[in-house]
Amino acid sequence: MSNYKVPQLNSFEWQQLVLDKDLSTPSGLTPSKGNRYIVKATGSGDWTGHSNAIATYNGATWDFTEAVEGMICWIADEDKFYKFITSWTEYLGQQGNQGDQGNQGNQGNQGDQGSSNSYSTTFVNADLATGILTVTHNLGVKVVPVIVCNNNFKVIIPDEITYSSTTICLVDLSSYGVLSGTWSIIVLDGGASNINTPVTIQDTDGDTKVETEKNADEDKVRITTAGVQRGQFDSNGLTLQSGVAVKEISNDGTMAGNSDDAVPTEKAVKTYTDDKTVYKGRTDGSTPAAGYIGEMLSGQCGPTTTNTSGYTDLVTLTLTAGIWLVSMCGQTDNVGSQTGFDTTFIVSGTGGTTQGVDVFYVRHTAGQGHSFAFAPRRIVIATGTADKTVVLQGKSVTAAGLMTGYVTAIRIA
């Protein structure tokens, strides 16, 4: 004869053992952690506002599981099952089948009342053989859910359950050692047909629901509200009504993954933006390091002699990938018999001596010194492209002269 081993029941309808259902306040109780009670209407004290709910003591305060239609639980002080519809009433099992139709059109007799679809008993350590309890029940179903409670009325998980026949199952409690006090066991007629059955939880009109396995073996959990499917879980992760599937909620503050299926946490976003923000929270006024927003490059010259044979490179700055604002200003001095200055400001990929690439030009009249400035220039250097240089140049028109100049570049992205 083959033996079958299945995991314990973790069903929506069947609740853990409850000690009492006739108390409306915890006043006078000295509960242990994990003790459970049904709050009798009308709840008061610490149970105010939780009539019919299951109150569980967590060692300090009470946690509440609100009653939902279809809930069933074992009441320890009455040794009875109770079921919640609109209130808690004794649960006696399912109604028997209707009798067969009689001959000649006569009505058949009413079927007998169905027997309770559960079996319960208590046991002590002496009832175990080498740590195994043999349970003989009358349910006539081989694979049945089993609930075991210890002497403190707490549900425990057996090491394993072996189903020997439609009336016998072997419950292994070896790991619990010598049992103290009286324990309880409940066997439920869940029926093998109820195992691995697709499940739907829905509201009264069926337009808001959670479905598993809507289609055969699709391995999906679907979420629907107001008749519209809003999202689903499957092997690709969470997919909402629109947009891409999300597989991860990431706490990576560098965002190095550059992923389309990860959502960053609040802390990850703050870490990333703090790392890129101007001055990065500094209080000493220091300039951000290279590569960060707010990085500043600057250069100056002068007074520097220029001549008439060609342009002299006065200030050169090298810009890396990013977006920069570059500005320049300076002054020329009247020297000797010079007749004027030519000044250029060049952005070039090959160096400052090549004119013709983003050139700014001004000529100063002869005979006197002049101040000059170029408005800030926005320069974009794409990631992966070569660095660029910005160059301030000067040339005297008829005789050597002096020029003083300043160039500043600030990274804005």
Each residue of 200-240: pLDDT tens digit?
Answer: 788 878 888 888 877 877 888 888 988 888 888 888 888 88
What per-residue confidence (pLDDT) applies to 109?
Answer: 55
What per-residue confidence (pLDDT) applies to 407?
Answer: 87
Is residue 36 over pLDDT 90? Answer: yes
411 and 295 in contact (C-beta within 8 Å)? yes
**pLDDT mean over 118-147:** 90
Q: How far apart are CA 326 and CA 406, in angstroms?
A: 11
User: Residue 301 is inside which H or E element, if any?
Assistant: strand 296-306
Is residue 350 over pLDDT 50? Answer: no
What mean pLDDT is reported for the chain? Answer: 78
Is residue 255 over pLDDT 50? Answer: yes
- The band of 242, judged by pLDDT with boundaries at 50, 70 and 90, is confident
- The band of 343, judged by pLDDT with boundaries at 50, 70 and 90, is low
> What is the 3 state secondary structure string of 253-283?
CCCCCCCCCEEECHHHHHHHHHHHCHHHHCC
Question: Residue 276 phi/psi, 5° resolution?
Answer: -110, -5
- The band of 173, judged by pLDDT with boundaries at 50, 70 and 90, is very high
Is residue 5 over pLDDT 60? Answer: no
Each residue of 399-412: pLDDT tens digit?
Answer: 666 778 888 888 88
Higher-pLDDT residue of 138, 6: 138
Q: 20: burial class by Cβ within 10 Å (0-12, 13-18, 19+)? A: middle
Question: Residue 241 phi/psi, 5° resolution?
Answer: -55, -35
Is residue 345 over pLDDT 70? Answer: no
Q: How far apart are CA 79 and CA 19, in angstroms?
A: 10
Q: 165: burial class by Cβ within 10 Å (0-12, 13-18, 19+)? A: exposed
* Neighbour-count burial for 53-70, b at 16+ CB within 10 Å, e otherwise: bbbbbeeeebeeeebeee
88 and 66 in contact (C-beta within 8 Å)? no
Q: Which residue has the tokens 């309880």?
A: 184
What per-residue confidence (pLDDT) applies to 341?
Answer: 57
What per-residue confidence (pLDDT) applies to 115?
Answer: 45
Q: CB neighbours of 380 closer than 8 A, spacing ≥ 6?
A: 323, 324
What per-residue confidence (pLDDT) applies to 42?
Answer: 86
What per-residue confidence (pLDDT) applies to 207?
Answer: 86
Q: How far apart are CA 73 and CA 11, in angstroms?
A: 12
Task: Give the chain's domains with CATH numbers.
Answer: 1-95+109-195 (no CATH), 200-240 (no CATH), 296-411 (2.60.120)
**pLDDT mean over 47-52:** 92
What per-residue confidence (pLDDT) applies to 330?
Answer: 78
Each residue of 356-399: pLDDT tens digit?
Answer: 334 444 555 544 566 777 778 888 888 888 888 888 777 776 66
Radius of gyration of the chain (CA): 42
What amino acid occupies position 89?
Answer: T
- The band of 351, judged by pLDDT with boundaries at 50, 70 and 90, is very low
Of the candidates 64, 24, 29, the one whose C-alpha atom is nearest the C-alpha of residue 44 is 24
Q: How many CB atoms lie within 10 A of CB 409?
A: 22
Of the candidates 285, 256, 290, the one whose C-alpha atom is nearest the C-alpha of residue 272 is 256
Q: 366: burial class by Cβ within 10 Å (0-12, 13-18, 19+)? A: middle
Is residue 349 over pLDDT 50? Answer: no
What per-residue confidence (pLDDT) applies to 241?
Answer: 75
What per-residue confidence (pLDDT) applies to 70?
Answer: 86
Half-sphere exposure of 394 (CA within 13 A, CB side): 29
**pLDDT mean over 309-337:** 77
Of the candidates 148, 216, 214, the one whose C-alpha atom is nearest the C-alpha of residue 179 is 148
